[in-house]
């Protein structure tokens, strides 16, 4: 389960692993009473508890509502989907393709980008140009990696999840070769640190999670 964070309008938002969703909902029943669920037009599931607590559940991938709603939703959330991941920060990038939580193929790489200079005047301008060129080289190299690692799987992935420096990720995906991946990019961005192999391996905990917005009585703004 991802760490809860405050939500606009009250309550909190958290992520629940699809394999744990049924047990987590059992806990909700134990704490808040019987549930009444209904499918919304946007694919979410609205849940009202006996004590007035409300939940909105959103699956990471699409699903087809059917009765009983919660059973169908939970089953759909558990289905393994193939997804691509692209993480980029200054000087480092990571790419991977996952089948469910399992990493199928990946590449993590880095390139030097100098830090800020304390010098002024002409030296500072020259340093800034060099630093900009190095950042451009990172974008180009990351795009080359994505084309080599992710693009062969683009036809079979349900979504592309991204994280890191938003501007650099956007620049990478502006590469015309990556248009098939950019077309299936999914929001919100993953919350990640430096794009290391360890961080890449942890990405499914975010992109596979069922997003839950829970509002208890008295929490509504």
Phi-psi region of 18 (alpha: psi -120 to 50; beta: other; left: phi over 0): alpha
- Give the whole-angstrom CA distance, residue 150 versus residue 65: 31
Q: Per CATH, which fold does 82-207 belong to?
A: Nucleotidyltransferase; domain 5 (3.30.420)
> What value does the mean pLDDT take over residues 55-64?
91
Share of the chain above pLDDT 90, in %: 74
Q: Model confidence at 78, in pLDDT bands (50, 70, 90)? A: very high
Each residue of 177-205: b (16+ CB within 10 Å) or e? Answer: ebeebbeebbeebbebeebeeebbbebbe
Q: Model confidence at 27, in pLDDT bands (50, 70, 90)? A: very high
Per-residue model confidence (pLDDT) at position 207 = 95
**Environment class of 67 (CB within 10 Å of its CB; exposed 0-12, middle 13-18, buried 19+):** exposed
> What value does the mean pLDDT take over residues 174-192?
95
pLDDT at 134 over 80: no
CATH 3.30.420.60 spans which residues of the chain? 82-207
End-to-end CA distance of the chain: 25
> What value does the mean pLDDT take over residues 81-107?
96
Site of tokens 């990405």 = 203
- Let me know: does 89 contact 194? Beta carbons within 8 Å: yes
Per-residue model confidence (pLDDT) at position 128 = 44
- Give the whole-angstrom CA distance, residue 29 versus residue 159: 32
C-alpha angle with apex 122: 119 to 128, nearest 5 degrees? Answer: 70
More confident residue, 136 or 193: 193
Q: What is the distance of C-alpha 88 from the center of its chain?
A: 13
> What value does the mean pLDDT take over residues 61-81?
92
**Environment class of 219 (CB within 10 Å of its CB; exposed 0-12, middle 13-18, buried 19+):** middle
* Single pTM value for the model: 0.83
């Amino acid at each position: 389960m991802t760490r809860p964070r405050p939500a606009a309008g009250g309550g909190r938002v958290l992520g629940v692993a699809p394999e744990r969703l049924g047990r987590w909902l059992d806990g909700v029943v134990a704490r808040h009473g019987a549930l009444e669920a209904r499918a919304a037009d946007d694919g979410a599931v609205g849940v009202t508890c006996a004590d007035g607590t409300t939940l909105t559940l959103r699956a990471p991938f699409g699903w087809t509502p059917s009765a009983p709603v919660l059973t169908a939703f939970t089953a759909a959330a558990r289905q393994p989907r193939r997804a691509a991941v692209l993480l980029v920060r200054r000087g480092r990038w990571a790419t991977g393709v996952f089948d469910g939580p399992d990493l199928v193929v990946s590449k993590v790489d880095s390139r030097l980008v100098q830090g800020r200079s304390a010098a002024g005047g002409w030296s500072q301008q020259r340093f800034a140009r060099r630093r900009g060129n190095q950042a451009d080289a990172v974008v180009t190299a990351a795009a080359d990696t994505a084309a080599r690692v992710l693009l062969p799987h683009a036809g079979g992935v349900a979504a592309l999840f991204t994280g890191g420096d938003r501007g650099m990720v956007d620049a990478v995906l502006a590469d015309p070769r990556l248009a098939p991946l950019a077309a299936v990019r999914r929001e919100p961005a993953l919350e990640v640190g430096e794009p290391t192999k360890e961080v890449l391996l942890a990405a499914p905990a975010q992109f596979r999670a069922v997003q839950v917005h829970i509002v208890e009585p008295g929490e509504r703004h």
